[in-house]
Structure 1
Amino acid sequence: ISPRYIQDKISNSLVGEQPCINPFMVMNELEAGLSHHSLISREEDRKRYKDLLAMVREEYEDIVKNEVQRAIAADEEAISRLCGNYIDNVKAYTQKEKVRNPYTGQDEEPDERLMRSIEEKINIPESRKDDFRREIMNYIGALAVEGKTFDYRMNERLHKALELKLFEDQKDSIKLTSLVSTVVDKDTQEKIEVVKSRLIRDFGYDEISATDVLNYVASIFARGDTKSQES
Structure 2
Amino acid sequence: YKDKKGDEKMEAFNDRTKRIDFPYVLAYEEEAEIYQKLLGNADVPDVHVEPHTLEMAGLFGVLTRIEEPDDETVGLMQKAKAYNGEVDEAEEVDVRKLREEADQAAEIGEGMEGISPRFIGDEIAEAIMDSTHRGRGYLSPLTLFTFFEENLENHGSISEEAFETYYRYLERVREEYKERAIEDVRHALAYDVDEIRRQGEKYMDHVMAYIDDDTVEDEITGRESEPDETFLRSVEEKLDVPEDRKDDFRQEVSNWVSRRAREGEAFNPEDNERLRRALERKLWEDKKHNINFSALVSSGELDDDERGGWIDALIEQGYSEDGAKEVLEFAGAEVAKAEMED
Normalising by structure 2, we get a TM-score of: 0.50
1:1-231 to structure 2, matched below 5 A, reads: 3=119, 6=123, 7-8=125-126, 10-33=128-151, 37=154, 44=161, 46-72=163-189, 74-103=191-220, 108-134=225-251, 136=253, 149-176=266-293, 178-182=295-299, 189-190=305-306, 192-202=307-317, 204-224=318-338
**How many angstroms does 1:16 deviate by?**
2.6
Q: CA deviation at 1:137?
A: 5.0
Counterpart contact for 1:122–1:161, Cα < 8 Å = yes
Letter in 1 for 2:238: K
Structure (1/2) with the larger helix percentage: 1
Distance 2:288 2:332 in 1: 11
8 Å CA contact 1:98–1:110 kept in 2: the answer is yes
Amino acid at match of 1:212: E
Deviation at 1:189, TM superposition (A): 4.5
Q: Could you tell me how far 1:138 is from its partner in structure 2? A: 6.3
Corresponding residue pairs, total:
220
Of the two structures, which has the highest relative contact order with CA contacts closer than 8 Å and spacing of 6 or more? Answer: 1
Letter in 2 for 1:201: E
Deviation at 1:172, TM superposition (A): 3.6
- Which amino acid in 1 is paired with 2:296? L
Percentage of pairs with the same residue: 35
Q: Could you say what secondary structure the match of 1:224 adopts?
A: helix
Are the equivalent residues in 2 in contact too, given 1:12–1:29 (CA < 8 A)? no
Structure-1 separation of matches of 2:131 and 2:268: 45
Contact 2:296/2:336, CA 8 A, preserved across alignment: no
Q: Deviations over 1:91-124 (max 9, x none)?
A: 4434445544444566544321110011223343
Higher gyration radius (CA): 2
For residues 12-52 of structure 1, the C-alpha deviation after alignment (integer angstroms, 9 at most, x for no partner) is 344335454433233324434568x5969986555344334
Letter in structure 2 aligned against 1:56: V
**CA distance, structure 1, for counterparts of residue 168 and residue 314 of structure 2:** 30
Of 99-108 and 206-215, more deviation after overlay is shown by: 99-108
Structure 1: any 5+ residue segments left out of the alignment? 226-231
Question: Deviation string for 1:137-167 (max 9, x for gaps)?
Answer: 5665677788764332454432332222223
Instruction: Please tell me the root mean square deviation across aligned C-alpha atoms, in Å.
Output: 4.1
Report the TM-score when normalising by structure 1.
0.69
